[in-house]
Amino acid sequence: MDDTLSPDDFLAALRDVGARKYHDKHRFHLLMNEGRLTAEQLKVWSLNRFYYQRSIPVKDCALMSRMPAPADRRRWRQRLLDQDGAGPDEEGGIEAWLRLVEACGGTRDEAWGEVGLLPGVRYAVDAYVSFVRERPWVEGVASSLTELFSPSLMSLRIVAFEQHYPWVAAEGLTYFRGRPKRATNDSDHAVAIVLKHCTTRAAQDRAIAALDFKCDLLWAQLDAIYWHCASP
């Protein structure tokens, strides 16, 4: 008996992972959205999260190098431009996040120098890059599907910062404002790849597990930050 999920059911199973495990439900994000974080806590978060931001292009290069289809590589390459920037006049997500670090009281030198980087954050981010390098490339694509769930979190974050943290300069929110559109475009491409290549139940289950794993890593990063600076 063929128990392969239909495309609709497969996508529903992927979305269910986010509904249960995406880090928008983490206590640290709840505190952030309620305006209950201090300036120092936001600084710690922004600096630690930068390690993830700077590692995204490394992950994407590793993934792209293993993609067999030139068309997919060309489209995935846009992620590198979005994050690294296309040149001096076209800054990317890394530069936008550095502006957030500065707006939260940190410095670029602290961000690039990994000042205050928590071991748990380093471990989680490095584990994600290793996963994408070592697992089948389609699973790496599936792990990126946390982007299905990020637009709503970005929208909530903008409102929270404007309402509760008015001392954070407006240009520090540039990353959040641009991310929903890019995340939607990127996730549309990733969904198409996963639906095309995961045509057996075993492959579908591996894709779901990859997304589950990515959610765990995002959660682990926030656990490390929460227990360092926000735990009672």
Residues 33-85 pLDDT 10s: 999 999 999 999 999 999 999 999 999 999 999 999 999 999 999 999 999 99
Handedness of CA 128, 141, 152, 21 (dihedral sign): negative
Residue 2: per-residue pLDDT: 80
DSSP letter assigned to residue 209: H
Residue 174: per-residue pLDDT: 93
Residue 121: per-residue pLDDT: 98
* Residue 1 resides in a domain: no
Question: In angstroms, rounded to a whole number, what is the distance separating the alpha carbons of residues 15 and 77?
Answer: 25
* Residue 21 resides in a domain: yes
* Residue 2 resides in a domain: no
* Residue 153 resides in a domain: yes
* Residue 69 resides in a domain: yes
Parent domain of 46: 7-229
Supply 114's token pair. Answer: 């990994």
Overall pTM surpassing 0.85 (yes/no): yes
85: region left, alpha or beta (phi > 0 left; psi from -120 to 50 alpha): left
Residue 232: per-residue pLDDT: 59
Closest CA to 20 of 32, 9, 31, 12: 12
Residue 86: per-residue pLDDT: 80
Residue 1: per-residue pLDDT: 63
pLDDT in tens, 20-46: 999 999 999 999 999 999 999 999 999
* Residue 114 resides in a domain: yes
* Residue 218 resides in a domain: yes
Residue 188: per-residue pLDDT: 95
- Average pLDDT for consecutive 10-residue bins of the chain (232 residues)? 90 96 96 96 97 97 95 94 84 95 97 97 98 97 96 92 95 91 93 97 98 98 93 63
Residue 178: per-residue pLDDT: 87
User: First CA to last CA across the chain, in angstroms?
Assistant: 53
What is the CATH classification number for the domain harbouring 213? 1.20.910.10
Closest CA to 213 of 66, 14, 6: 14
The domain tally of the chain equals 1
Amino acid present at 64? M
87: region left, alpha or beta (phi > 0 left; psi from -120 to 50 alpha): left
* Residue 66 resides in a domain: yes
